[in-house]
Structure 1
Amino acid sequence: MVELLKKLFEQRQRDITVILLDDSKPDEDNSYRINPNGLIGLILGISGVFAVIVALLFMLTPIGSLLYSNDDAEIRAQILEVTNRTMALEDSLRQRDLQLQEMKNIIRFSVDTTLTPDERFMSMGDENAPFTSPDILASERMENLEQFSQNEIIFSNIFKATPDFPARYPVKGTLTRRYLPGQDHFGMDIATKDREPVINVADGSVINSSWTINNGYIISVQHSDGLVSTYKHLATVSKREGDLALRGDILGETGNTGVLSTGPHLHFEIWKNGVPQNPEKYLIK
């Protein structure tokens, strides 16, 4: 066979006569005239058609899926992993959008939070109530006033007399927004420089010293006569709950803290027996 192919290749430029002999029929002479180039072209053509048929079989019939099942499984696994990651990313983005929307709603629609004084402090400033000595007061109300230091209560008489008002402004600055209860603004805003000292307006005791997302650092001081003063948007605080706060003490420093703040300022409130008051009536420049 190899010799035949070799001869055909050597004689490819000339026509060749092929004689077929049948031993059972010696009288018959079957001869054919062929061109080697044409024969080679015919063989290549048949091979190409066969290759196309095989390729179509792999592409259009289950035969191909059987041969490439492993590769397909790996690809499907990769696609599934990418899909899961995409879904997780979409969930994260959705949660982020919800959080941003909540922050926008707070900034656009929320107002400064209000303070409802604790009922346990109401009677402290009642002038008609009989005064109880500090020792008896400490023993009777120790359960409700655990945050206060016993020594501080014993050595203070801050709740005996009416607070000394009017007082000076708690911070140096410019009044930028007044008391507007109709707009749920229960205090006054004083624009200041950053880190200005905030001064306590009257003797009392700190009942709240904390951080809130809306108002930053907050300090509330309980005075006698049922009065409570509140200072918001502080950058730092220098008093803790239970500390005595005398008039003129530094409670902290102004800042631009909390999502409701648009610049360094102090939001100042005064409440009496749970009712908001106009702070300007208690202050003098």
Structure 2
Amino acid sequence: MAKKRKKRKEIKRKLLHKYRLVILNESTFEEKISFKLSRLNVFVTGSLLMIALIGLTILLIAFTPLREYIPGYSSTRLKKQATELTYKTDSLVRTLNYTNKYLDNIRMVLKGDIENNEVNRDSLFQQFKIDPASIDLTPTRQDSILRAEVALEDKYNLFERNTDKKSMVLFPPITGSVTMAFDAEQKHYAVDVVAPMDTPVKAAANGTVIFSEWTAETGYVIILEHEDGLLTVYKHNGSLAKSQGDVVRGGEVIASVGNTGEFSTGPHLHFELWDNGNPINPLDFIDFN
């Protein structure tokens, strides 16, 4: 015990033993600065300086751009740019997919093709169908009045009353004789109207030109997009008066009757009417006579 006590006193004495640090002028040996130090003071002061240095380094790394120069740390600005580019890329992909679908619809209209859908939408609701035998189908007085009103309506209204589309008036693009009517079974989704060469072709309704080019099979073609997903197509024109992106009014001249394209057999207008990707008979809505 005495040895341990003596050893502790010796360590304490060494730690608290005073030393004098003197800075002298080398030429004159004049004392400039002197410090009274002990081992304990040097240890405590050195420890505090190290802690302060470590803290300052951490602050510099955490709150200044200097951390970007340390391997393993990435720039906040670069992270932000990467995030923005990710969002932009996602938006571009969505826009590109939408554009591709839109172009596929235009291609389908140009070729007059209707893709077969393997899924029958009616079959999805088969389980919810009601057996007509369980319902009294005797028409009421109100139903008879409504049927009479519908029967007296103008047949050239574009959409029926039971649809949610806005009513739209369609102008005849040209007047003339219909030489070939709409025939879905023969895949002739249009009406062919004979007219003299260079007869002005007019827009059937207000819309925007989404296609105005030459095609080998159908010559000069112009397609207008109208509201509610309606498209009007004009083929075999002799010339085009509007370009893609132009906004036209109903009745405005957009082309002239011609005899262009491999499938043309004489001066006429091949006119198609499409509703949300489905061909409909123009004669149900337009009188060409």
Q: Shorter-normalised TM-score: what interval?
A: 0.3 to 0.5
TM-score between both structures, scaled by the size of structure 2: 0.43
TM-score between both structures, scaled by the size of structure 1: 0.43
Higher radius of gyration, 1 or 2? 1
